[in-house]
Amino acid sequence: MNAETVRSQLKTLKLHTAAAELQEVLDQHKKAVSLSWISDLLEREIDSRRERALMTRIKKANFPEITTLETFDWSFNPQIDENRIRQIAGMDFIANNQICLFLGQPGTGKTHLALAIGVLAANRGYRVYCNSIKRLAEDMLRAKAKNNLDTLFKKILSARLWIFDDWGVTTMSREVAEEIFDLLDRRKHSSAMILTSNRDIDEWPQVFPDPVIANATIDRIFDRADISIFKGTSYRLKGKIEVKNVNSKMRHK
């Protein structure tokens, strides 16, 4: 184990004085000094700090559940482009502050895969903000009532990846629509975003109280957006449909 390895570990731990003076201290001890033990100790501290930082990022992201690409059943809906999703999971879209739209039928895996990519991003060291559009609207109204909307916006804008789930499910009030437009406008190219929606794009303007706000907001969502279409049977309804069919057959016997 050489001194350069230990020096690098000290820098990682932000122990800059110790890193700078390591060689001088070693020179003062003329006998051969083994650095293996201290390197092992420092590496354990580095691993522990990384783990704590990851747990903090995951907690602050507020994921409704922890999912992975490995636990997704790709065979259930083979129409989903697995290669494309894995390419997105490579995180280049975050580095380029791009938007990924996961659009399609309910239950086809949009939320699962969006969350899985979010968890991967947290593992890579990115700050993630995750919320459904309905809860985001509620958070905005609550923050405005307490006069701390700026604090909420600061939290969202500080994240490198935003995940907004279920876009278009609920109709927005003018107050909420204006704030969401402001948020997306301030995002510009400073953060990446994954947005999921079950609703047809042609219907999106219907959730806004005003066509001007609708057009301006949707325009910002589609700015340099990468679109993935999810088709197929609802995975969530799989068991229910099978049970329903079995019961129906039994009643007709």
DSSP 57-91: HHHHHT-SS---STTS-TTTSTTS-HHHHHHHTT-
Name the burial class of residue 44, with classes exposed (0-12), middle (13-18) and buried (19+) by CB atoms within 10 angstroms of its CB.
exposed
- Give pLDDT, residue 30: 64
Render each residue's pLDDT in the chain as its tens digit; 253 residues: 578 888 888 888 888 887 887 887 777 776 666 777 788 878 888 888 889 988 999 999 999 999 999 999 998 888 899 999 999 999 999 999 999 999 999 999 999 999 999 999 999 999 999 999 999 999 999 999 999 999 999 999 999 999 999 999 999 999 999 999 999 999 988 999 999 999 999 999 999 999 999 999 999 999 889 999 998 878 766 554 444 444 444 454 4
Q: Rounded to whole angstroms, how far apart are CA atoms 138 and 142?
A: 6
Closest CA to 198 of 129, 113, 102: 102
DSSP label at 30? Answer: -
| Side-chain-facing half-sphere of 188: CA atoms under 13 Å | 2
Angle between helices 36-61 and 110-123 (to 10 degrees): 150
Could you tell me if 229 and 100 are in contact, meaning their C-beta atoms sit under 8 angstroms apart?
no
CATH 3.40.50.300 location in the chain: 62-238
| Residues 111-154: tens digit of each pLDDT | 999 999 999 999 999 999 999 999 999 999 999 999 999 999 99
pTM of the full structure: 0.80
In this structure, CATH architecture of domain 62-238: 3-Layer(aba) Sandwich (3.40)
Q: Rounded to whole angstroms, how far apart are CA atoms 108 and 135?
A: 22
Which residues make Cβ contacts (< 8 Å) with residue 155, sequence separation at least 6? 129
Angle between helices 174-187 and 211-221 (to 10 degrees): 30
Q: Rounded to whole angstroms, how far apart are CA atoms 216 and 79?
A: 32
